[in-house]
């Protein structure tokens, strides 16, 4: 059994330390008030049993809470007082300077919580450590100075989660849709150097990767670009290559169609090199936060302006899918699944059915999903139904990163606008905590819900107000040179924070557990579903009220919990104990999702969750868990067609692993030892994470650097839907 110390390091559980601590408090009281040695031994045994029952690594605070309770159970109140006083005194000493110790554990790579905080960050790398060190300072400033005490306390207790506190000290926002079209067509500036409009497709791809890296270093969330913005440069390269070929063959006297054929072949080669540039630069670049840029590539034929551009875009999409199917080579030279860029493919009438013009792309996408877990799929049909602007027109567009969607927006000229917009930040409400705090009383539930939502409202306004007054000079690539705006030097970004240009997100998590506690049933049960929908609508109504009050686009967001799922679960266990079906896991369910252990088929799951996606306009994604589908592409295509007809945004979760020790190319297993979950090769039993490549869908994106114990248990518990 393991215990996590306050500085985040993980050590073996030693029961003798409990005995010693109780004896120390025991010796400080009069003999008549002391515990016997038998009682001390019993306390130690019971505390050890309680820790084992948690079935996870326990932290020091939890152990001390158990000790206090057991001393009280023995009616040794004087001893309990001494023990509590000692804890309080030690806490005061620790609070005098906690940041130094935390940073030192980061540098020495023995902070287990941080090591598993982000499944795409390698904490042994200097650049990641530097980012984490800066984050510790930011969190310290945020907690002590920048945020109100009640918001900090609610965050610490797991009542809410104030996301990305490690970046809050700076004037930074969350995620964005990069206006790559503006930057490529009108030129931009990168690190003080003017970059003019590219004269070829390959140059456009190279510039795009530089823009991606710069944007990632000036915000903390995901970003999305569209391949449509690269499509015009295909025709530029075509004309350029054709002129070169014609000149080369001028003396030979070949026919025009021969020149065209040779030029088109060379053009294909250039497209291949350009897409390869994006693929390899994205996965090999390290941004200032120590990881590859969290970038999504959007593939939507419907964005093309004419048939020529549409055909060129199709060539780009085809090449992007082929290269992702191939993957990238790991250090052993084996082709593996990269985490980024994330790919999104839009299903539309021209590609979704057999016989449609671009169905060959959809078949390629299905093969890619079966082997590499991406692309994910947006249904143009459903999105046009859901995303209606004030003019009554529907729109189809990409999310910002893994699931955060902008709200429909029409500019001052009456035109829809999505690229160049962004999200200000997220605060998430722990729905199971609302339910458990109510004790199951419905009237009390809605009362507490109101209080917690108001707490989130105030926390979100802290985020908004932190961005107010930010000068465009803080991130020129974003605010001055086209990624998000073309503001003047010294101009404030404030006008972009109002009127719906940007959004700010009320996140939610654990709808399943909330409904389970309040109704005794899963929200998939027809008797419990109305309550689940009512909870969702209630949060939407709050967002509308806040929007009216502040002229800011508050939007409800299905939070992609990664490390926070473990934090919320531990907080619930600490506050309410183990409640079967509600707090008996080391994770809580993401957003509105069906619980990972619930047996439900893929089509029923997607149909059920589609109703909740409509009520989560600020961000939502659904998934189905499937086995290896590489030999069953028709089944993948069936799911894709069902997505098109029934749900806006969904993905298929497959597995893509490799053991570097023995060459096993299959699913790496999760095993349990001494209360801890470990990854193990089923063939050679290798458990060294540095010698295996594991890729799993984490929260809408692929993680490759492993996960904390809560998320690992959630991955282990997932049942297949197909």
Catalytic center residues: 174-175, 400, 402, 404, 423, 557, 562, 700
Q: Residues near 311 by Cβ (< 8 Å), separated by ≥ 6?
A: none
Q: How many CA atoms lie within 13 A of 467 on its CB side?
A: 25
Strand-pair partners of 329: 335
Place of tokens 């948690």: 54
Token pair for 50 = 């309680």
Strand-pair partners of 506: 427, 556
DSSP reduced 3-state for 523: coil
Sequential DSSP letters for 339-370 = S-SEEEEEE-TTTSSTTSTTHHHHHHHHHHHH
DSSP reduced 3-state for 555: strand
Whole-angstrom distance between the N-terminal and C-terminal Cα of the chain?
Answer: 36
**CA–CA gap between residue 345 and residue 373 (Å, rounded):** 12
Place of tokens 């974003």: 478
Which stretches within 217-358 are classed as H helix? 232-248, 256-284, 307-326
Measuring CA to CA, how many Å separate 666 from each of 334, 350, 364, 655, 658?
Answer: 13, 35, 22, 8, 6
Count of Cβ atoms closer than 10 Å to residue 187 Cβ: 15
Contact 621, 402 (CB under 8 A): yes
Strand-pair partners of 558: 508
Measuring CA to CA, how many Å separate 485 from each of 78, 138, 482?
Answer: 65, 27, 5
Place of tokens 């139904």: 385
| Cα Rg of the chain (Å, integer) | 27
How many helices (H) and strands (E) are present in the chain, helices listed first?
24, 23
Pairing mode, if any, of strands 2-4 and 10-12? antiparallel
b vs e for 476-503, b when ≥16 Cβ sit within 10 Å of the residue's Cβ?
bbbbbbbbbbbbeeeeebeebbeebbbb
Place of tokens 């801890």: 676
Q: How many CA atoms lie within 13 A of 403 on its CB side?
A: 31
**CA–CA gap between residue 443 and residue 438 (Å, rounded):** 8
Pairing mode, if any, of strands 702-703 and 656-659? unpaired
**CA–CA gap between residue 397 and residue 222 (Å, rounded):** 15
**CA–CA gap between residue 468 and residue 422 (Å, rounded):** 14
Residue 373 burial class via C-beta count within 10 angstroms: exposed 0-12, middle 13-18, buried 19 and up: buried
DSSP reduced 3-state for 693: strand
What element of type H or E holds 636?
helix 633-646
Count of Cβ atoms closer than 10 Å to residue 65 Cβ: 15
**CA–CA gap between residue 221 and residue 289 (Å, rounded):** 11
Listed residue (275, 347, 210) closest to 636, CA to CA = 347
Place of tokens 């939507």: 300
């Amino acid at each position: 059994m393991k215990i996590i110390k306050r500085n985040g390091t993980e050590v073996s559980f030693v029961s003798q330390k409990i005995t010693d601590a109780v004896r120390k408090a025991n010796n400080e009281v009069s003999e008549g008030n002391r515990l016997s040695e038998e009682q001390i031994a019993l306390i130690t045994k019971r505390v050890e049993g309680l820790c084992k029952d948690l079935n996870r690594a326990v932290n020091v605070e939890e152990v001390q809470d158990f000790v206090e309770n057991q001393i009280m159970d023995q009616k040794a109140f004087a001893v309990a007082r001494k023990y509590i006083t000692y804890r309080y005194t030690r806490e005061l000493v620790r609070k005098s300077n906690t940041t130094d110790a935390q940073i030192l554990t980061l540098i020495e790579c023995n902070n287990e919580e941080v090591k598993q905080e982000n499944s795409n960050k390698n904490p042994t790398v200097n650049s990641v450590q530097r980012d984490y060190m800066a984050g510790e300072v930011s969190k310290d400033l945020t907690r002590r100075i920048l945020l109100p005490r009640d918001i900090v306390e609610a965050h610490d207790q797991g009542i809410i989660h104030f996301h990305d506190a490690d970046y809050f000290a700076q004037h930074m926002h969350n995620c964005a849709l990069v206006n790559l079209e503006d930057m490529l067509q009108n030129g931009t500036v990168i690190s003080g150097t003017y970059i003019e409009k590219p004269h070829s497709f390959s140059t456009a791809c190279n510039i795009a990767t530089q823009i991606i890296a710069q944007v990632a270093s000036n915000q903390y969330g995901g970003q999305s670009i569209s391949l449509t913005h690269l499509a015009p440069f295909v025709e530029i390269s075509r004309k350029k290559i054709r002129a070169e070929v014609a000149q080369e063959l001028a003396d030979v006297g070949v026919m025009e169609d021969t020149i065209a054929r040779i030029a088109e072949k060379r053009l294909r080669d250039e497209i291949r090199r350009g897409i390869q540039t994006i693929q390899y630069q994205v996965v090999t670049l390290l941004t200032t936060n120590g990881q590859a840029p969290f970038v999504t590539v959007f593939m939507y034929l419907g964005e093309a302006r004419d048939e020529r551009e549409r055909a060129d875009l199709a060539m780009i999409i085809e090449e992007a899918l082929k290269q992702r199917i191939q993957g990238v080579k790991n250090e052993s030279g084996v082709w593996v699944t990269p985490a980024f860029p994330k790919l999104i493919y839009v299903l539309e009438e021209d590609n979704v059915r057999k016989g449609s013009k671009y169905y060959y792309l959809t078949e390629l996408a299905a093969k890619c999903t079966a082997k590499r877990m991406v692309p994910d799929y947006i249904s143009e049909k459903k999105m046009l139904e859901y995303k209606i602007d004030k003019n009554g027109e529907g729109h189809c567009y990409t999310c910002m990163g893994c699931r955060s969607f902008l709200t429909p927006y029409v500019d001052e000229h009456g035109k829809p606008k999505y690229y160049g917009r962004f999200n200000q930040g997220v605060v998430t409400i722990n729905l199971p905590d609302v339910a458990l705090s109510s004790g199951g009383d419905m009237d009390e539930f809605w009362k507490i819900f109101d209080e917690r939502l108001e707490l989130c409202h105030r926390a979100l306004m802290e985020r908004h107000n932190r961005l107010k007054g930010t000068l465009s000079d803080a991130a020129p690539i974003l605010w001055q040179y086209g990624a998000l705006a073309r503001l003047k030097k010294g101009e404030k970004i404030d006008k972009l924070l109002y009127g719906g240009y940007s959004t700010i997100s009320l996140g939610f998590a654990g709808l399943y557990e909330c409904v389970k506690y309040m109704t005794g049933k899963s929200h998939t049960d027809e008797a419990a579903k109305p309550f689940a929908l009512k909870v969702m609508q209630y949060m939407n109504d709050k967002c509308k009220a806040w929007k009216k009050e502040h002229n800011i686009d508050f939007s409800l967001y299905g939070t992609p919990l990664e490390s926070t799922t473990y934090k919320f679960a531990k907080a619930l266990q600490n506050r309410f104990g183990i409640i079967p079906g509600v707090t008996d896991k080391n994770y809580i369910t993401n957003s509105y999702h069906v619980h990972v252990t619930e047996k439900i088929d893929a089509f029923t799951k997607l149909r059920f969750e589609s109703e909740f996606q409509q009520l989560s306009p600020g961000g939502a994604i659904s998934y189905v868990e499937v086995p290896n589908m590489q030999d069953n592409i028709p089944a993948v295509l069936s799911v894709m067609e069902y997505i098109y007809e029934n749900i806006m945004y969904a993905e298929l979760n497959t597995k893509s692993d490799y053991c570097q020790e023995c060459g096993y190319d299959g699913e790496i297993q999760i095993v349990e030892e001494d209360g801890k979950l470990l990854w193990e090769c089923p063939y050679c039993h290798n458990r060294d994470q540095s010698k295996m490549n594991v890729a799993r869908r984490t929260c809408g994106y692929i993680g490759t650097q492993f996960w904390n114990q809560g998320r690992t248990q959630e991955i282990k518990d997932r049942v297949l839907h197909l």
